[in-house]
Amino acid sequence: MLLFVGLGNPGPGYAGNRHNIGFMALQAIARRHGISPWRRRFQGVAVEGDLGGEKVLLLLPGTYMNESGRAVGEAAKFYKLGLGDIVVFHDELDLAPGKLRVKTGGGNAGHNGLRSITAHVGNDYRRVRMGIGHPGDKALVERYVLMDFAKDERPLFEALIDVVADNAALLAEGHDASFQNKVHLAMAAKGFNGAAGAEG
């Protein structure tokens, strides 16, 4: 069993926020691969399905971003999962809008959702970092991440979420570099050149 976690805040008021791109990605994966229905589990909502021949639990924590680790820890304990079995999809201020990187472990860069997960299960889980850009001033970050994507940004992020969903089976199979490359090529094909790429 693998655990795919989308980070975000629950409730309709947050649904379109930049901070909720992890939720959006997981919901798109579930739709694209016919995985349903979502049920209340592990202090959030979750659904089990098959991706690339692997059993996967998709989890959207209902604990709010800062306490995401509570939900992730409960699910990981229930299924006796190791850190390598956990893939977390999240917004990344330090990547340009639409860029994507996959990495294992590393710093949490002030991301409270990642910090909470690390506190509950450890640090060396896999992360799908989805760039949302930076407002340019640290004092503006909290407001920026809790704002909806601007109208002119939406085509870029809708494309990114689509290609992540299209290629999610590669992540389930452990082909992180291939996943990154496919996302990069698909974004370029959609006209978003340089929007995603492999971690150097």
> Is pLDDT at 35 greater than 90 in this prediction?
yes
Tens-digit pLDDT profile for residues 41-90: 999 999 999 998 999 999 999 999 999 999 999 999 999 999 999 999 99
**CATH class held by domain 2-189:** alpha beta
Q: What's the pLDDT band for 198 if we cut at 50, 70, 90? A: very low
pTM of the model: 0.94
Chain centroid offset of residue 198 CA: 16
Q: Is 19 a catalytic residue?
A: yes
Secondary structure class of 168 (helix, strand, coil): helix
Distance, in Å, from the CA atom of 135 to the CA atom of 171, rounded to the nearest integer, reads 30
From 19, 33, 90, 111, active-site residue: 19
> Is pLDDT at 200 greater than 70 in this prediction?
no
Average pLDDT score over residue span 127-155: 94
Give residue limits of the domains in the chain.
2-189
Give the per-residue pLDDT at 197: 42
Give the per-residue pLDDT at 110: 82
> Is pLDDT at 2 greater than 50 in this prediction?
yes
User: Over the chain, what is the mean pLDDT?
Assistant: 93
Residue with tokens 């699910």: 75
Average pLDDT score over residue span 153-173: 96
